């Protein structure tokens, strides 16, 4: 099956771990930089959705692979372009379902300044999805990087007043 077919099939059934794993393998073999923007967006959103859905289960190899995929430079560049194209950060987050997941994963970055900025942005977003995912990471405690990310980001959520 070619990349387009796997992407389309995975979009229809992103709960299928085998399809997501196949998509990850296929995406590693494709030059992502040369994919059309629409295809990058589909891949970006699909990987983030799959990661979010898997985040409620015990940490496994597929989650680790998705975590690595979602912190690749092309993902960061895509998110940056989305932020630059948007006049309002909160509006961009509301219209980009994958952004809170990517920001949460950026809280695991080895550079403390990047991790801190991602945590602040995530707290500022007030994203309930991200908050719930961080709480699961903190409760699960099987992945030390994710636990550190949750410990870093969750206090920023409490600093934002409830509306």
Q: What is the pTM for the complete model shown?
A: 0.78
Report phi then psi at 60, rounded to 5.
-145, 180
CB 53 within 8 A of CB 15: yes
Domain boundaries, the chain: 3-158
Write the pLDDT tens digit of every residue in 51-75: 888 766 766 888 888 988 888 888 8
Write the pLDDT tens digit of every residue in 95-121: 787 888 889 989 998 899 999 999 998
State how far the Cα of 127 lies from the Cα of 134, in Å rounded to an integer: 11
For the chain, how many residues are written?
A: 163
Where are the extended beta strands (E) located within the chain?
none
């Amino acid at each position: 099956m070619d990349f387009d077919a796997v992407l389309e099939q995975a979009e229809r059934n992103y709960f299928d771990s085998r399809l997501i794993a196949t998509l990850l393998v296929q995406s590693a073999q494709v030059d992502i930089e040369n994919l059309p923007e629409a295809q990058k967006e589909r891949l970006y959103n699909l990987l983030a959705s799959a990661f979010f859905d898997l985040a409620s289960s015990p940490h496994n190899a597929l989650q680790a692979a998705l975590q690595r995929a979602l912190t690749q430079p092309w993902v960061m560049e895509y998110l940056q372009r989305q932020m630059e194209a948007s006049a309002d950060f909160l509006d961009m987050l509301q219209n980009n379902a994958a952004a809170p997941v990517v920001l949460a994963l950026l809280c695991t970055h080895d550079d403390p300044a990047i991790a801190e900025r991602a945590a602040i942005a995530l707290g500022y977003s007030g994203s309930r999805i991200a908050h719930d995912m961080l709480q699961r990471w903190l409760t699960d405690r099987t992945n030390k990087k994710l636990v550190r990310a949750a410990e870093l980001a969750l206090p920023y959520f409490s600093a934002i007043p409830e509306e």
